[in-house]
Amino acid sequence: ALPNQQTVDYPSFKLVIVGDGGTGKTTFVKRHLTGEFEKKYEPTIGVEVHPLDFFTNCGKIRFYCWDTAGQEKFGGLRDGYYIHGQCAIIMFDVTARLTYKNVPTWHRDLCRVCENIPIVLCGNKVDVKNRQVKAKQVTFHRKKNLQYYE
């Protein structure tokens, strides 16, 4: 097991969450952990790992969510965090076009370290006014055969 990961008697997976700073990666994880919605932005330094349990049709599973820093200056080991990743979420902010433009770079870096893992593309902040990236403009996932969720 990796540091900070006690073994459990049900399947567990290392889930890497990547994307530009401020796209909502930490808020997304915290919302699933506690049900709370954190409004203030504090950049993640390096990486934070959180266990998240889900109940599926096939029983309980655990994701060890590696919530990575989106901001370059806080990047820490950056793609060193991707090692042994078994699945990933690439997150962008639909109210900030640049965060979508950077999706291919995040995808490339992930695939360089973790070949052929399931990756989901997530357009976040759809509840916020002034959407800049319309659903029909999101096409990257089709080229790479990824699932897309908002």
Q: 86-97 burial, b for 16+ CB within 10 Å, e for fewer?
A: eebbbbbbbbbe
67 phi/psi in degrees, rounded to 5: -85, 105
Residues 61-119: tens digit of each pLDDT: 999 999 999 898 887 778 889 999 999 999 999 999 999 999 999 999 999 999 899 99
Contacts of 138 (CB under 8 A, 6+ apart): 100, 121, 123, 148
- Torsion sign across C-alpha atoms 139, 141, 142, 148: negative
Q: Cite the beta strand spans of 20-86 per DSSP E.
A: 47-56, 59-68
145 SS3 class = coil
Residue 87 C-alpha from the chain's centroid: 9
Please give the CATH number for the structural domain made up of 12-149: 3.40.50.300
Contacts of 102 (CB under 8 A, 6+ apart): 19, 20, 92
- Torsion sign across C-alpha atoms 92, 45, 33, 109: positive
Q: Is the pLDDT of residue 2 over 70?
A: no
pTM: 0.90
Q: Can you give the residue ranges of every domain in the chain?
A: 12-149
Residues 9-39: tens digit of each pLDDT: 889 999 999 999 999 999 999 998 888 888 8
Q: Are 1 and 51 in contact (CB under 8 A)?
A: no
Element (H, E) at 16: strand 12-18
Residues 36-64: tens digit of each pLDDT: 888 888 888 889 999 999 999 999 999 99
- Tell me how many helices (H) and strands (E) the chain has: 4, 6
